[in-house]
Amino acid sequence: MGNEFCVMMGKTFGSFHTVTCDTKYAFMCYNETSPTSGSYIFINSFVTWRKAQRHCRVNYTDLVSVRNQTENQWMQTSIYTYNQNYFWIGLFSDSWQWSDQSYSLFRYWASTQPDGTSGSQNCTAVSMTEGDAGGSWFDENCDSELPLVCREDKLVLVNLTQTWWEALRYCRENHRDLSSVHSKEVQSWVMEVAQRASTDHVWLGLRHTCRQGFWFWVSGFSICYQNWAPGNGTGGEDCGSGERSGAMELSGGQQWVSLPESQRLNFICTNY
């Protein structure tokens, strides 16, 4: 794992430091469903970065992200009473990337991987043997002949800045529709795709009707799963300047917000 580096944060000044990911430190999780004051959870247990990430994702939302100085200060305040000078945060860098050239925070290496034993194991395979944990990953020689799984891009980020109606028209002409987020799984896909957006929000296929006073997905999905930011999605929208449409914010908890349909944003289309 010499080509992989993870980041720990210093308690005193909030500075970042890179170390190998198999070093053991305490760590900080965050919970997107909690208010700001309770969203940071310090775990005073020494583990590797991967184990810290796994613990946070199972029990909360993820390892904490630091997006600005205010969040940095909140974290320093959260661990003030603990006798630990450094702790893991959710920032890391390594040489692995997906075949479409994208990067992701998600990794599912087996406990001893990647080991690079042959010096040429630069590709990744999934092990389905009974002894491994649920399809964990192994580094593998790229010339090895193995079964494969293909992937169709179900969600596509469009880096054009358009009104909601323009975005809807573009998606229906070039793909299938503006994306609908009808489950937590789809929400995680949308969050991943939206990382490369150039605007602070991205349009979704979420629409409000002033006449009847409710929100709906233009694809026809019912709104069972919801991820509204506080104060949004109540149905009592201000329609004085026209209809409202739904977008996902790219900061904070990446929740949904109500915006004027005339605002110009990037957007996410769906192919299914």
Q: State how far the Cα of 196 lies from the Cα of 203, in Å rounded to an integer.
A: 14
pLDDT higher than 90, residue 265: yes
Domains and CATH numbers, the chain: 4-96 (no CATH), 108-149 (no CATH), 155-270 (3.10.100.10)
Which tokens is 125 given?
């395979």
Residue of 265, 142, 253, 115 lying closest to 202 (CA atoms): 265
pLDDT higher than 50, residue 146: yes
pTM, two decimals, is: 0.47
Exposed / middle / buried, residue 6 (Cβ in 10 Å: 0-12, 13-18, 19+): buried
* Mean pLDDT computed over 177-200: 87
pLDDT of residue 234: 74
Residue of 66, 77, 78, 82 lying closest to 16 (CA atoms): 66
Q: Which residue would you say has higher pLDDT here, 89 or 213?
A: 89
pLDDT per position as a tens digit, 80-99: 667 777 888 888 766 566 65
Say if strands 177-178 and 201-209 run parallel, antiparallel, or are unpaired. unpaired
* Mean pLDDT computed over 188-197: 87
pLDDT of residue 130: 47
pLDDT of residue 203: 94
| pLDDT bracket for residue 2 (50, 70, 90) | very low
DSSP symbols for 161-211 = EE-HHHHHHHHHHHSSEE----SHHHHHHHHHHGGG-SSSEEEEEEEEETT
pLDDT per position as a tens digit, 31-46: 776 555 457 788 888 9
